[in-house]
Amino acid sequence: MGALSGGLGAPTLDPKSRLLPVAVPANIPPVMNARVCWAIFILLSFAGCVGSPDNRAAQPRTPYTRPLLSPGAAFATLPPPVQNAVRAQAGIQEITHITKDTSSGQVVYKIYFSSSEVFPPLYVAADGSVLHPDLRVAVAAPESSTGAGLRLADLPPDVLKVVHDRAPDSEIASITKQPWGDRSVYILAFKDDAQHPKLYVTSDGAVFSELPK
């Protein structure tokens, strides 16, 4: 240790480093001594950066990484007739994803299930009709689905004339449609039902006081 202290200059120590002091030989010229010190300082600083990672860069881990739009949320946005068709055809089968296709000129919802070998993709029109993959109707939508929420503008001319003749100033509460043979019966309910009871009107303008049988 005596020989070492006699032949070397004062040891230098990086205050931020945990490494042992490094001795610089005393017989090195001042310029070389400064360069050596700077080189050692840079190396020790780099070692300190490697040994002490920046804690600010560490991100907390979380198991919640899935997108916010789940199959359940997508199902909830489907029109009610489409939801009814899916429930009727597939019950509570797990849905993986849903797409909306308008390339054929009509709105078609494609529902994909996790058990694809048992439940192939289901094609459903906006009115609740179940379709073949070539978009031919496989199961027609029930009349109650197509007739729910009708407006005056949706009524045939003969039905609209009956409404104007029977209740021109009464406010309509609801309009529904049900099949009757080869025709349809439009059921009109009025808000003032004491003065204007329900009207049952066929598509050709025939009026009934109750649903015809």
Count CA atoms closer than 13 A to 113's CA, side-chain side. Answer: 17
% pLDDT > 70, the chain: 62
pLDDT category at 6 given cuts 50, 70, 90 is: very low
Give me the residue spans of the domains in the chain. 2-53, 71-141, 145-208
Q: Which residues pair with 110 in a beta bridge?
A: 99, 123
Q: Which region, left, alpha or beta, applies to residue 103 given φ > 0 means left and ψ of -120 to 50 means alpha? A: alpha
pLDDT of 194: 78
Residues with Cβ < 8 Å from 160, sequence gap 6 or more? 152
Its CATH architecture, for the domain 71-141, is Roll (3.10)
pLDDT of 147: 46
Cα–Cα–Cα angle for 10, 14, 19, rounded to 5 degrees: 95
Query: pTM surpassing 0.85?
Result: no
Span 191-201, average pLDDT: 83
Q: Which two tokens stand for residue 43?
A: 């190396």
pLDDT higher than threshold 50 for residue 73: yes
Distance CA 138, CA 166 (A): 40
Q: What are the angstrom distances between the C-alpha of 202 and each of 165, 181, 209?
A: 15, 11, 12
Q: Which region, left, alpha or beta, applies to residue 176 given φ > 0 means left and ψ of -120 to 50 means alpha? A: beta
